[in-house]
Structures are given as structure tokens and as C-alpha cells.
């Protein structure tokens, strides 16, 4: 049954004879054609009806026609299931998904641009139209004067269908078109609008037109289920029946008890609690229906009354349409249609009635995965051609894939991934079809990724970047790498705003999902590094992509304080690559093979890439990379090797070591690019690293005793700059030079600087935890201040914004610390200790450090690693020293060697460290532990062994051990030797 009211029309529309039209109150009429109306639409000059798949159109009265035309049936080959009328034309949709355009003359032609597409929804504005295909793609055509096509600002109108690429990843549920604006609704309820916005009809809070789809943020979380566009207003319906309207209100079409425009969506209060089931907008009025009560409400401007005496009515609140009770008894409201000056209600008999007319096909949705589809793939009930077509349809569309894994479909989602994981586990009696399915999915997804828009609209289109990693985790190695590369490439192409959104949602992933994401790109990186190590070239480009994604995730973990340890990012295969480079360089020393030279360059190039992503390597590997690249960097500097052999030779007395060193540095003759060589005056020996190691060890002690008081020791035994020494800037400069020289020459400084210093060198800000490391008592007081719950207690501390008489902010001594501003006080306090109070001191130290370590590769290290490189490892694993030992002219099973290790492990911790100084010139443990040291015990089988002391060749880590007759003699001689190592150390 069709009910209608409004402007004068041909009685019965020629669908029935005039006398078969029933008249109700206030001009309401109804009719029941013999052939049921399955769908209809009304625009400015046409009304169209679909009966049994055939289309009839009727010309309505307008400015150009003062009478109704005759009902005309269109002669079409295909059955039509939908019709929408615009201002001057109409769009038809066939059962097969083909779109036809009807012009003013009622001539229908196929729409160009959609020949190979299956359309499921259509919408029509005044002079533009919109179509949604079953693979989730949105197409538009017509006029673009106000950006209503959603393509771009300067894009002209188009008579053929154009793809709205910016929405290609969004799973759309509904489309709508108004006068000169357009809207779409996603499956998860996100609303996008664009086009004309002169009255605020886009709901964006302003009156500026939009030329691309824009998210209506004010409708977020409103659970929108449908949208309708009018001439210059819009209405949305939320789950539960709440209606929002916005845009032009001059005719009362917003229903807000006023004729004002609304620029933001606003609830129609008069309908609150009515559980509205349907809403539709005409040019100047709005219709809503309530299924439960079978009521229709109208508000806005429309023509009301019987034929010949109709008059214009304006209602700014919802007004019930007076439906006769006979209409309500057997029928239910199926569709409302609001045109220019007409209103229609399409009724169908309720289900269960034997004489019920067939309902029209509901609006079809985009293709998504479902359990039946997956069952068919696994069981192979369909042919491979059919399965392949379905796989391609779903997985070639980001929108379909997104729509398949919404929360509402979580059962299907889990079902799919379980099956996908099981495909490769089917027993050998199964045909190859499931494996082919996997390969086809991977192939199609990879193609889909490469075609994605790098400038997506809205958050929903980014969901694909969370789905694909789930897929990658369930496929084979070769397919995994290719798909991971496609995913990484597309992520890197995303615009800056999309990157921020992606990182935001990464930070909210559960730990297991986030770790899985790290694992995917780490494994892909490891596989490529392994291939590079084996000589496969041109993989470094892909490697850099994976590392960039890992870097993004790493930064997310750091900024969000996620509990993902650094070791989860480390790629251990980097060490294999470094071993390969080392072997290649060793081979080149004997034979300059052209191919190996090329491989060396390739390996170095790869290491330069790795060098930019320090989180991916452990400390030992980074230090190896640092040395390789430092040497490459030195060799790249022109004429660097033309210098005097004695330029970098430091001759010093042990008694005046610090004075001699400063005097040498002030001469400004040292070449910091080259290795430092040390000569102790009056002693024999060539510095093969042993003497310089001892030099820095002794120099560390002298710096701590320096009469200039550059450094001060805190309660924690850690050392910090003296904030009171403002005049000795050059002293701080030379302190930095000495530390930089030690790092550059791979030696250690035995000065316990706090971690805060290394954070500052790497341009990171120290925190309250760093202050707790340096000054525990001071920091605990500040933490207690932050944890105090009582305002009165904080006030009674009588603190102000000063530290040691220094104001933290202007007039700080007049500003008390309260519970409100205490965090600011603590932050400023920490900043004062580490930054403000030692600003000049640190600047000069940093200048000297950078001067003496000219290769700035040290910036790749974490603060903790840089601290370890300068201080040495804090872990003394003495058993490891024994395990790394080798022997010459003796073996580990000899009694002498057993006695030696027995004596060694009896030594106190202090004496063990003295042994290290005796053997290596320093007591610091190298990065990576004692395994990075060379220790060789050489048996000296001389006749007067008991009269000799052990000797050490410090440059080579060789201990010369006489063959003592018993363990007591060995103990006495060893303790004596390590206690006076300056006398017995040998180069």
C-alpha cells in the first residue's frame, strides 16, 4: 500500500483508477495497486515506481510544468530493484548491479565507469549521484560546484563514474546525497560528509564547503545507523531511535522549535524516547516513522490539503501524520520518501499474513567474510575458479577486509584465522586446494596493499594495517617476507597524520599483539640480514623499510612506557654480518679480489643503514659497527694520513701525569682523528694499547684529586660537575677532551659519572630517578612531597621555588610550593640540578668531548650503553675470565694452572681488580664481558722459577707464569706482582 500527501498530483498516479484512491484526513491519500510497488522515489520533477522489476515514471508539477504528466513505463531489458530521483533526472539499479541514468526525457543509458562493477546502493542529489559497489568502493558523478563529488577542490564535474579513493579502505554501510552535499556511513558507525555547507548541513560546526570526505567527529560514539540528506539539511538516526538534525532550519525542517540553522548535530528533543526506526529528508521537510506505534511524524515546510485548495504549512516540531486506523491494522511502514513538496509512505502487509505482498529486496551490504564462505574453501565444495573469485573479491578490497573483522563479526574473524592457521596442517590425503587458497590470499592482499591510498580519510581505513600483521603471522617464510615488505612500504607512504593515528593505536595494543608486531618486522629484518651475509645483494633497500617500521614501534613503546623490553627489538643476525665483514676484510689483506672488494662495500653500506637504527643491535655489535664505520670515515678524509709520526705521541711522567697531559693538550698539536700513543718517560715499552689503557686508568685517579675541584663526589659516590666552579671553563673543556679521547681510542675512564651525564650528551632530559641515583636523600624528599596526600602537610614544609638560594622561576622566593604546583616544583628542581646550575660547565665539557671524539657515531648508543663504553661493564663475572683463557706450553689440566685459578678465586675483589690492572693496564671490564678480552697463560719453564715473579704483556693480555713448585709460592709471588704492577708490567 502507498500513502501520500503534499502538493497536487495526478489522482492515483495512474497506478490505480482515481476512484480507487482512498482519502483520509488532512489530504492524506492511499492506494493499493494490483501489482505491488516494491520501491519508489520522488524528486523535483519525477516520481518513479518499481513494480515486479519494471519502472514507471510520472512527471510532477513544477515551475516548468503546471500539470502532471502521464505515467510512463520504461522499456528496459533488466529488472530494476532500486530507483532514486534527483532534481531533474533519476538513477536506476538493476538486480544484477548495473546502473542506468534517466534524463529529463526519460531516456535511460548505462552509466560509464561502472561496467565491470556490481553496485549495491545508489543515491541522488540535485545534480550529482553516488554509488556503492559490493567490494566497498564509492563512485560519484555529476556536478562538483561545491565539492559534492568528494574528489578534490579543483576537480570538475564528470558525466562518468569516478572513484573516491580516499574512502577506499572504509567499509561503508550506507550512502546518501542531498541538494549539493553527500554523506556516507561506515559499518562501525563513523559518519563522513562533504560538499556544500552553507547552512552547516555537514555538521562540522562551520559553514565552509568540504571538497573531500570529512569525519563528523561530533557524531562519534552516537551509534549512527542511518543518514538522510535533504536540500540543505541532514538527519541521522542512532541505534535506539534517537534523531539528530543539522543544517538549514528556515522551514522548521530540523524540528528544534525554531527556524534557526544548526551547525552541529542536535537531538530532536520532541522525539526523545520514541524509538524512531526510520528518518528521511525532503528539500524543506523531514519525515520519521516509529515502527512500534506505527506512527509517522513530519516537520518542516510542505503543502497540505485536498486537491485545489492546498496551502503551505510550516511546523518546527514533529507533527503526527493522521493515518487512519485501517492502515495501521494489517500493514507496517517499510519506507518513507520525502521529495520536493511531496511525502510518501510505502506499507507492506506484516509477515504471517497469507495475502502479504512481497517486500522489496533490502539494501545489500558489501561483501565480507563469513563462516559459510570459509567452510566452502576448506571443504572444496565449490570449484577452484569460484573460490579464487571469492578470495579475490574479499581480499582485493581493503573495505571488505576491514568490514569482515569488525567487532560485530568477531566470531567470523576468529573462525577465519583458526582455519587459516590450519590450512597448512591438513593431512596429505587432502588435495592441494587449501594451500592454493593461502597463496591466493597472500597474492591478492599484497596487490591490495600496494594500491592503498597513502592519504586515507578517517581512522577506519587504517584498520587494515592491524589486520595484515595477523595474516602475516600465519603464513610461510617466503610469502611472509614479500607481504611484510608490501605492508612496510605502504605504512611508510602514509601521511604524517595517519602515522600519528597508527602510532596512537599501536600504543594501545595488548602486550602480546604489540610483541607480535615487533616480531614480524624483526624476523623479516633478520632474514634479509642473513641473506646479505650470504652474499645476496640489493636487499638493503627492503631492510631499511623494515627497520623504519621497527623504529616507529620502538618509539611508541618508549613514549607510552610499554613493558616491551629492548631485547625484543635486537636482531642477533647483525653479529653474523659483522663476522662476514671481518672475514672479508681479513681476506682482502692477502688478496685484493675485485668481487670481495664489492662485497665489502655492500656490507659497509648495510652497516651504515643499521647504524641509523641503534635499537636493533646489542651494545657489542654497535661497538663493532662504530669501529668499522670510524675507520671508513677516517679513510674518506683527504690527506688525513699525512702527519708527523710523533704528533700523537704523549710523553709523560707518572708523577706529573695530569699536568703533563693538560700541557700537551694546550699545545693543540694532537690529531684527534688518529690513535693516541703513550710513552712513560724513563720506562721501556711500545704502546700497543696497553700503555694508553694504563694511562687513562691513572689519569682518572688524578682527575678526582685535581686541586681545581672541577668534580665533586656525592653521597652516592657518583661524580658530578662542581656547580660553584664558574671560572674554570677550560678545565671542563679538557675534562670533556679526555673523556672523548678515551672513548675514541677504546679505553675506559674510571670516573663514576651518573647516567644523567650520558643522557645530556645524547640530548635527553634527566629525570627524578636520575637525581635519586646521584643524590638519594634529596630525591627521596622530593618523591615524598609528590606522594603526600594532605594539603596541610605540604604547606607546613614551607618550601618555595628556590634551590640553595637560587630562584627556579622569577620571584620564586615569593611563591610557596603547594599540592597544586608541587609537580612543577619537582620538575624545575631536577632541571636546576642537572641543567641550570651546571649549564656553562656542561657546555664546555660537551664541546671538548665532541672535539676529541670527532666521529659522532657515538650518538647511536643508548645512555646506558654510552656509560658502559666509557666506564666499562659494571659486571665482574670472574668465572667468565677463566672460561675465555687459553694456554701455551701448558694446559688447563696442569697442576700449576689449577693452582693458579685456585689462588685467583681466593683473592679479594680488590685484589682481583688489581690483577686486571696488572694484566691489562685497567681494571675495567670490556663491553660484552671478559669474553671480549684476550687472556693467554704462558708457562715459563726457567731453572730459577721460584725466584721470579709473574709478568704481563699488557698489550696482548699474556700472563707469563713461572713453574712454581707449590701453590703457596705461586700465591706469594702473584700477590706481590699485582701489588706493584707498575714495576712488573711489560709491553
Alpha-carbon torsion angle 465, 466, 468, 472, nearest 10: 130
3-state secondary structure of 748: coil
Environment class of 831 (CB within 10 Å of its CB; exposed 0-12, middle 13-18, buried 19+): middle
The answer to whether 878 and 766 have CB atoms below 8 angstroms apart is no
Burial code (b: 16+ CB inside 10 Å, e: under 16) for 625-638 equals bbebbbeeeeeeee
End-to-end CA distance of the chain: 108
3-state secondary structure of 654: coil
Contacts of 498 (CB under 8 A, 6+ apart): 454, 455, 456, 462
Catalytic residue, candidates 124, 400, 437, 955:
955
DSSP lists the bridge partners of residue 962 as 940
Burial code (b: 16+ CB inside 10 Å, e: under 16) for 204-240 equals beeeebbbbbbbbebbeebebbbbbbbbbbbbbbbee
3-state secondary structure of 801: coil
Contacts of 941 (CB under 8 A, 6+ apart): 889, 963
What values do phi and psi take at 162, rounded to 5? -120, 140
Dist CA 118 CA 131 (whole Å): 10
Chain-centroid distance of CA 245 in Å reads: 35
DSSP lists the bridge partners of residue 312 as 303
Rg (CA), the chain: 41
DSSP type of residue 302: E
Other Cβ atoms less than 10 A from the Cβ of 703: the count is 22
Other Cβ atoms less than 10 A from the Cβ of 69: the count is 16
Known catalytic residue: 955?
yes
The answer to whether 205 and 246 have CB atoms below 8 angstroms apart is no
Dist CA 845 CA 847 (whole Å): 5
DSSP lists the bridge partners of residue 958 as 936, 953
| 650-654 contacts at long range (C-beta below 8 A, 24 or more positions apart) | 650/676, 650/677, 650/678, 650/679, 650/695, 651/679, 651/681, 652/678, 652/679, 652/680, 652/681, 652/695, 653/680, 653/681, 653/682, 654/680, 654/698, 654/982
3-state secondary structure of 106: coil
3-state secondary structure of 283: coil
Cell output for 135? 567490494
Q: At what angle do helices 690-704 and 909-920 cross, to 10 degrees?
A: 130
Contacts of 699 (CB under 8 A, 6+ apart): 657, 658, 661, 738, 749
Environment class of 123 (CB within 10 Å of its CB; exposed 0-12, middle 13-18, buried 19+): buried
Q: Which of 696, 699, 705 is nearest to 744 (CA)?
A: 696
In 134-290 the beta strands, taken as DSSP E runs, fall at: 138-142, 158-163, 172-177, 181-186, 191-195, 210-215, 224-229, 233-238, 243-247, 262-267, 278-281, 285-290
Dist CA 346 CA 682 (whole Å): 111
Catalytic residues: 955
Amino acid at each position: 500500500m502507498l500513502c501520500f500527501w503534499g502538493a497536487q498530483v495526478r489522482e492515483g498516479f495512474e497506478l490505480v483508477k482515481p476512484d480507487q484512491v482512498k482519502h483520509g484526513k488532512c489530504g492524506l491519500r492511499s492506494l493499493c495497486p494490483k501489482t505491488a510497488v516494491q520501491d519508489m522515489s520522488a524528486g523535483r520533477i519525477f516520481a518513479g515506481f518499481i513494480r515486479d522489476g519494471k519502472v514507471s515514471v510520472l512527471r510532477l508539477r513544477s515551475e516548468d510544468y503546471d500539470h502532471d504528466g502521464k505515467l510512463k513505463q520504461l522499456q528496459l531489458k533488466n529488472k530494476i530493484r532500486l530507483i532514486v530521483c534527483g532534481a531533474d533526472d533519476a538513477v536506476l539499479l538493476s538486480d544484477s548491479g548495473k546502473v542506468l541514468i534517466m534524463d529529463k526525457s526519460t531516456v535511460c543509458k548505462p552509466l560509464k565507469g561502472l561496467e565491470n562493477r556490481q553496485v549495491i546502493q545508489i543515491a541522488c542529489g540535485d545534480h550529482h549521484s553516488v554509488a556503492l559497489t559490493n567490494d566497498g568502493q564509492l563512485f560519484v558523478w555529476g556536478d562538483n560546484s561545491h565539492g559534492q563529488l568528494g574528489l578534490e577542490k579543483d576537480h570538475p564535474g564528470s558525466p562518468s563514474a569516478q572513484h573516491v579513493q580516499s574512502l577506499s579502505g572504509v567499509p561503508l554501510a550506507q550512502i546518501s546525497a542531498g541538494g549539493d552535499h553527500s554523506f556516507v556511513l561506515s559499518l562501525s558507525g563513523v559518519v563522513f560528509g562533504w560538499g556544500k555547507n552553507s547552512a552547516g548541513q555537514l555538521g562540522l560546526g562551520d559553514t565552509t564547503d568540504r571538497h573531500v570526505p570529512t569525519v563528523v567527529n561530533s557524531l562519534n560514539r552516537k551509534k549512527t545507523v542511518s543518514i538522510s540528506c535533504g536540500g540543505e539539511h541532514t538527519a541521522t538516526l542512532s541505534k535506539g531511535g534517537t534523531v539528530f538534525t543539522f543544517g538549514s532550519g528556515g522551514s522548521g525542517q530540523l524540528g528544534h522549535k525554531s527556524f534557526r540553522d544548526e551547525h552541529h548535530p542536535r537531538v530532536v528533543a520532541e522525539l526523545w524516547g520514541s524509538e524512531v526506526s526510520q528518518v528521511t529528508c525532503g528539500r524543506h521537510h523531514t519525515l520519521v516513522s516509529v515502527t512500534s506505534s506505527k506512527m509517522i511524524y513530519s516537520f518542516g515546510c510542505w503543502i497540505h490539503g485536498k486537491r485545489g485548495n492546498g496551502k503551505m504549512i510550516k511546523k518546527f516540531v514533529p507533527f503526527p501524520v493522521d493515518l487512519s486506523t485501517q492502515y495501521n491494522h494489517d500493514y507496517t511502514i517499510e519506507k518513507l520518501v520525502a521529495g520536493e513538496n511531496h511525502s510518501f509512505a510505502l506499507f507492506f502487509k506484516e509477515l504471517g499474513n497469507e495475502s502479504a505482498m512481497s517486500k522489496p529486496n533490502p539494501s545489500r551490504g558489501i561483501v565480507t567474510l563469513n563462516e559459510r564462505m570459509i567452510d566452502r574453501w576448506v571443504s572444496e565444495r565449490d570449484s577452484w575458479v569460484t573460490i579464487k573469485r571469492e578470495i579475490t573479491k574479499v581480499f582485493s578490497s581493503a573495505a571488505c577486509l576491514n568490514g569482515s573483522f569488525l567487532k560485530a563479526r568477531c566470531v567470523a574473524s576468529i573462525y577465519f584465522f583458526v582455519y587459516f592457521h590450519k590450512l597448512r596442517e591438513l593431512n596429505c590425503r587432502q588435495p592441494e586446494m587449501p594451500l592454493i587458497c593461502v597463496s591466493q590470499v597472500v597474492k591478492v592482499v599484497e596487490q591490495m596493499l600496494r594500491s592503498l591510498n597513502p592519504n586515507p580519510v578517517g581512522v577506519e581505513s587504517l584498520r587494515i594495517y592491524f589486520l595484515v600483521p595477523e595474516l602475516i603471522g600465519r603464513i610461510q617464510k617466503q610469502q611472509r617476507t614479500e607481504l611484510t615488505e608490501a605492508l612496510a612500504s605502504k605504512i611508510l607512504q602514509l601521511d604524517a597524520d595517519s602515522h600519528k593515528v597508527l602510532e596512537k593505536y599501536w600504543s594501545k595494543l595488548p602486550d602480546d599483539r604489540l610483541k607480535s608486531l615487533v616480531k614480524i618486522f624483526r624476523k623479516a629484518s633478520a632474514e634479509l640480514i642473513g641473506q646479505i651475509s650470504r652474499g645476496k645483494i640489493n636487499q638493503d633497500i627492503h631492510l631499511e623499510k623494515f627497520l623504519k617500521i621497527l623504529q616507529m614501534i620502538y618509539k611508541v613503546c618508549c613514549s607510552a612506557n610499554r613493558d616491551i623490553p629492548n631485547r625484543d627489538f635486537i636482531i642477533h643476525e647483525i653479529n653474523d654480518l659483522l663476522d662476514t665483514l671481518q672475514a672479508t676484510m681479513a681476506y682482502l689483506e692477502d688478496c685484493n679480489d675485485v668481487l670481495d672488494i664489492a662485497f665489502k662495500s655492500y656490507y659497509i653500506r648495510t652497516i651504515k643503514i643499521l647504524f641509523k637504527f641503534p635499537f636493533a643491535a646489542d651494545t657489542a655489535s654497535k661497538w663493532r659497527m662504530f669501529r668499522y664505520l670510524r675507520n671508513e670515515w677516517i679513510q674518506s678524509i683527504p690527506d688525513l694520513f699525512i702527519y708527523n709520526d710523533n704528533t700523537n705521541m704523549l710523553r709523560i711522567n707518572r708523577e706529573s701525569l695530569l699536568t703533563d697531559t693538560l700541557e700537551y693538550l694546550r699545545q693543540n698539536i694532537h690529531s684527534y682523528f688518529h690513535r693516541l700513543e703513550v710513552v712513560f718517560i724513563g720506562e721501556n715499552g711500545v704502546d700497543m694499547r696497553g700503555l694508553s689503557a694504563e694511562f687513562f686508568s691513572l689519569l682518572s685517579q688524578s682527575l678526582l684529586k685535581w686541586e681545581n675541584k672541577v668534580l665533586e663526589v656525592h653521597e652516592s659516590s657518583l661524580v658530578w660537575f662542581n656547580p660553584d666552579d664558574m671560572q674554570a671553563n677550560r678545565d671542563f673543556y679538557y675534562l670533556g677532551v679526555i673523556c672523548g679521547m678515551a672513548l675514541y681510542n677504546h679505553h675506559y675512564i674510571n670516573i663514576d659519572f651518573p647516567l644523567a651525564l650520558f643522557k645530556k650528551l645524547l640530548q635527553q632530559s634527566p629525570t627524578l630517578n636520575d637525581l635519586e641515583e646521584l643524590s638519594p636523600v634529596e630525591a627521596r624528599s622530593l618523591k615524598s612531597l609528590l606522594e603526600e596526600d594532605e594539603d596541610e602537610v605540604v604547606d607546613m614544609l614551607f618550601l618555595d621555588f628556590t634551590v640553595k638560594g637560587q630562584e627556579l622561576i622569577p620571584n620564586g622566593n615569593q611563591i610557596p610550593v603547594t599540592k597544586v604546583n608541587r609537580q612543577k616544583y619537582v620538575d624545575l628542581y631536577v632541571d636546576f640540578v642537572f641543567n641550570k646550575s651546571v649549564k656553562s660547565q656542561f657546555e664546555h665539557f660537551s664541546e671538548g668531548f665532541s672535539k676529541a671524539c670527532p666521529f659522532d657515531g657515538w650518538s647511536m648508543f643508548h645512555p646506558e650503553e654510552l656509560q658502559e663504553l666509557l666506564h666499562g661493564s659494571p659486571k665482574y663475572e670472574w668465572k667468565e675470565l677463566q672460561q675465555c683463557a687459553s694456554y701455551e706450553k701448558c694446559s688447563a689440566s696442569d697442576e700449576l694452572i689449577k693452582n693458579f685459578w685456585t689462588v685467583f678465586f681466593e683473592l679479594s675483589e680488590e685484589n682481583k681488580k688489581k690483577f686486571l690492572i696488572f694484566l691489562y693496564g685497567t681494571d675495567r671490564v670490556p663491553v660484552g664481558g671478559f669474553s671480549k678480552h684476550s687472556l693467554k697463560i704462558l708457562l715459563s719453564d726457567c731453572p730459577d722459577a721460584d725466584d721470579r715473579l709473574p709478568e704481563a704483556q699488557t698489550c696482548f693480555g699474556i700472563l707469563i707464569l713461572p713453574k712454581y713448585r707449590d701453590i703457596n709460592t705461586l700465591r706469594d709471588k702473584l700477590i706481590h706482582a699485582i701489588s706493584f704492577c707498575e714495576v712488573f708490567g711489560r709491553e
